[in-house]
Amino acid sequence: MQDIESLLYQNRLLTEEVKRRIDQLAAINTVATSVSQSLDLNRTLKTALQAVLNVVGADAGGISLIDYEAQEVVLRAQHGWEHDFTNPPMRVAVSSGMSGRVIASDNVVLDNNLDGSEELAVPRFHDEHFRAIAMAPMHARGKIIGILSIMSKKTEAFDDEIITVLKAIADTVGVALDNARLYENSVEHEQRLDAILQSTADGIIATDHNGRIHLINHAAESMFDVSARKLIGMPLRESPIHPRVRDSLLFALSSDKGSSKAIKVSLDNDQVVALSVSPVYVESQVDHGKQTDGWVIVTQDLTYMREEEMARTEFIRAAAHDMRNPLGVTISSLNMLRDIVKDVADPANEVVGLALNGVNRLQDLINDVLNLEQIESGYDVNLSEVDIKDMIREIGAEVRPLLQERSLTFTTELPDDLPIPQVDRKWVRRAIVNYVDNAIKYTQSGGTITVRAFPNDMLLHIEVVDNGPGIPKEAQSRLFERFYRVTGSEKIRGTGLGLAIVKSVAEAHGGGVYVRSQKGKGSTFGITLLMAGAP
């Protein structure tokens, strides 16, 4: 009988403990539900404090957040106090008062018998006449972010059960407040970024990974004469922006998705727009199959720069024309003088020859500078369909006398189905001639020069291959710089601008240049051109 009574007593205690635990969990859940309904920090503070007081039955409460930069504990919310300590907020050093004890111990600090004699960091707190206080640290992301305090006007108001619930609630509130603060920071950063985006003179368009527009700033609206309201949420391919710009962007977004691209587009009204397209990557925990999370497109109106470049080119052209006349007279005079003194004395002939050589080099330099300015400014670039095979054969026939003079063999590798690009015939021909002329100059007698062309993706490659002495590796990265010449080539006639012109021609056609060479094994110089059908 005694065993049965003991068993019943133990069962009753267990039932009471289970009920107590359930009540505690229900209280914690009540607070968690209340504070999880908003990401607004101030609203979350008030909601959390009210929910805590309802659960623990305290007369008043407060929530303080830690300002780690200022090393202060700042009261952000209060309820049930006689005086307002939040406007301006009460600030206490992290090492002072009861708050300092909470932070130092990382545990609840309890005083159930306040009598007014305590030394407080904020003496005015005595005016509230609280007789009991419990303060619990709030944690989030592994550190204390603040302190949750409850107060009562009765002594011995808080028992172990309330302290247990308070500790659990404090961390629940801490996580909710941290989320609200992170959201607040995110909104602040978003607003700051939006202010920057809207104030910049460059047009900015952002798309998701499917090419759907989700941001466009005022500059882009003005540049393309479109409304943001119409574009937001619209696929880029359906957007009412200039077709040439849209097609160029779609091409950039669809090819070689891992890299940034720069494009220059000329519109029908002589407007020139520079487009920079860059992928945005954000590691996704949900969709690991996405290649990019979106694209950022930066647009710049370069019309004024084009006008300045055209004016500069016109000036250089006029200056070059003015210099050509006296140079022509000088060359004619030197040629006449050479005919006069050719039978007189060798030194005189040598002096005249040096003068002619210098004047001819100056004339070449003037021509190359003028050509470089013209192609880089985009001035006088006219696109049309050009049969590259015919052009290369024509160049081969043109340089045949020079090849025969140097005992060089000229070959071509041109597939029958070579695509026909839209290019400026004059400038592309000049680029190929520069490559071939370089190969002739640097290839020893008996060597071979090969010109080949082939498509690769949306680009047409044209390469000039020689079996000359090759180029030192350390010099290859500088070959296309203006006026750069490889050490040891000073005796070979040239201005140092030939390869720079090739590079500018390639870039004007949406392509680039490259070189492959090994010392003693010849060189391959290449140029790429955007093929017909590509934007």
Q: Where are the domains of the chain?
A: 23-186, 202-301, 303-380, 383-535
pLDDT confidence of residue 533: 47
The model's confidence at residue 18, banded by pLDDT at 50, 70 and 90, is: low
Helix 2-35 / helix 160-199 crossing angle, nearest 10 deg: 20
> In sequence order, which residues have a C-beta less than 8 Å from that of residue 520 and are 6 or more positions away?
469, 470
pLDDT confidence of residue 535: 43
Cβ–Cβ < 8 Å for 480, 513 = yes
Mean predicted confidence (pLDDT) in 250-259: 66
Mean predicted confidence (pLDDT) in 80-97: 90
Tokens 């013209």 belong to which residue? 374
Q: Is the pLDDT of residue 289 over 70?
A: no
The model's confidence at residue 131, banded by pLDDT at 50, 70 and 90, is: very high
What is the C-alpha to C-alpha distance for residues 291 and 302, in angstroms, rounded to an integer? 32
Residue 35 has which token pair? 């504070």
Q: Do domains 23-186 and 202-301 have the same CATH topology?
A: yes
The model's confidence at residue 330, banded by pLDDT at 50, 70 and 90, is: confident
| % of the chain exceeding 70 in pLDDT | 71
Instruction: Tell me what the pLDDT averaged over the chain comes to.
Output: 78
* Residues facing 140 on adjacent strands: 143
pLDDT confidence of residue 534: 46
Mean predicted confidence (pLDDT) in 351-371: 65
Give the residue among 361, 363, 385 at the shortest CA–CA distance from 485: 361
More confident residue, 125 or 371: 125
In what helix (H) or strand (E) does residue 228 lie, and over which residues does it extend? helix 228-231
* Residues facing 206 on adjacent strands: 215, 296
Pairing of β 422-423 and β 384-385:
antiparallel
Q: Is the pLDDT of residue 473 over 60?
A: yes
Q: Is the pLDDT of residue 226 over 80?
A: yes
Cβ–Cβ < 8 Å for 149, 162 = no
> In sequence order, which residues have a C-beta less than 8 Å from that of residue 254 and are 6 or more positions away?
none
Q: Is the pLDDT of residue 350 over 60?
A: yes
Q: Give the model confidence (pLDDT) of 487-529 as tens digits.
A: 555 556 656 677 888 888 888 887 888 888 888 888 899 998 8
| % of the chain exceeding 90 in pLDDT | 14
What's the CATH superfamily of 383-535?
Histidine kinase-like ATPase, C-terminal domain (3.30.565.10)
Against a cut of 0.85, is the pTM above it? no
* Residues facing 229 on adjacent strands: none
Q: How far apart are the first and last CA of the chain?
A: 97
- Topology given in CATH for the domain delimited by 202-301: Beta-Lactamase (3.30.450)
CATH 1.10.620.20 for domain 23-186: no
